């Protein structure tokens, strides 16, 4: 009988933990999209951290920005045992990486001005962000199509989202700050110089 009581008493707690952990395995949990799950995560975050740590994962939770996600724990040493990766690393193409960098810089400038917390950009504005890195005479139609493809990829990754009913308007998700940090931004000018060189060399090879 004692065992039955114990099982019955622990069941609700286990259910709550599963209700928080399962969405995290599927992707990013946002406060604004699911307040109930977000509040449950805040209440259970220490249990969640302990649970996912056994699986080789870290819980990244930013209460101020309102997002949480799971990230693979870095190996402590080169010869440490390799655990199976539950959160896959995504290989990004050069143009997608460039556009993510530009969006992150735009978000930093937006935050510095204060005011609204949501950075909204049109497709045309995103095209202008990347145009300065391309050789003069780049085909306009092709450029727009390429940027659209890159934005779709970035939206699939969860870094931007289309506004409902406005297919050409995008919100830059604040979780981008967790993947492109302040130290990375401090080296941004050098990175942009590297990007320009890469694009110039690519253009020269294509012309040849």
The pLDDT of residue 73: 74
- Lowest-confidence range among 13-17, 84-88, 192-196, 201-205? 84-88
**Residue whose entry in the numeric block shows the structure tokens 């990375």:** 184
- 16-40 pLDDT per residue, tens: 888 888 888 888 888 888 899 999 9
Does the structure show a pLDDT above 70 at 67?
yes
State the Cα–Cα distance between residues 199 and 204, nearest whole angstrom. Answer: 9
CB 177, CB 133: distance < 8 Å = no
State the Cα–Cα distance between residues 93 and 202, nearest whole angstrom. Answer: 14
Alpha helices in the chain (DSSP H): 2-26, 35-53, 94-113, 123-131, 140-157, 176-179, 182-186, 188-207
Read off the pLDDT of each residue in 56-62 and give the average, rounded to a whole number.
Answer: 89
The pLDDT of residue 135: 60
Does the structure show a pLDDT above 50 at 4?
no
CB 68, CB 60: distance < 8 Å = yes
Which is more confident, 207 or 52? Answer: 52
Name the pTM for this structure.
0.64
CB 104, CB 177: distance < 8 Å = yes
For each of the domains in the chain, give its residue range(s) and CATH number, in order of start.
Answer: 2-72 (1.10.10), 94-207 (1.10.10.2260)
Does the structure show a pLDDT above 60 at 180?
yes
């Amino acid at each position: 009988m004692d065992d039955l009581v114990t099982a019955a008493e622990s069941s609700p707690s286990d259910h709550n933990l599963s209700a928080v952990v399962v969405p995290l395995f599927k992707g990013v949990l946002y406060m604004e999209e699911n307040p109930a799950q977000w509040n449950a995560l805040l209440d259970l975050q220490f249990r969640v951290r302990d649970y996912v740590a056994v699986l080789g994962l870290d819980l990244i939770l930013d209460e101020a920005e309102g997002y949480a996600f799971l990230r693979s724990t870095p190996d402590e040493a080169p010869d440490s045992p390799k655990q199976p990766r539950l959160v896959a690393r995504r290989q990004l193409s050069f143009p997608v990486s460039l556009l993510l960098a530009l969006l992150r810089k735009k978000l930093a400038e937006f935050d510095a001005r204060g005011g609204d917390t949501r950075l909204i950009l049109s497709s045309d504005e995103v095209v202008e962000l990347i145009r300065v890195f391309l050789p003069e005479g780049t085909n306009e139609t092709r450029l727009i199509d390429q940027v659209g493809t890159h934005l779709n990829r970035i939206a699939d990754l969860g870094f931007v989202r289309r506004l409902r009913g406005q297919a050409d308007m995008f919100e830059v998700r604040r979780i981008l700050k967790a993947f492109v940090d302040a130290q990375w931004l401090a080296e941004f000018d050098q990175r942009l110089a590297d990007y320009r060189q890469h694009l110039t060399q690519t253009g020269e090879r294509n012309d040849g």
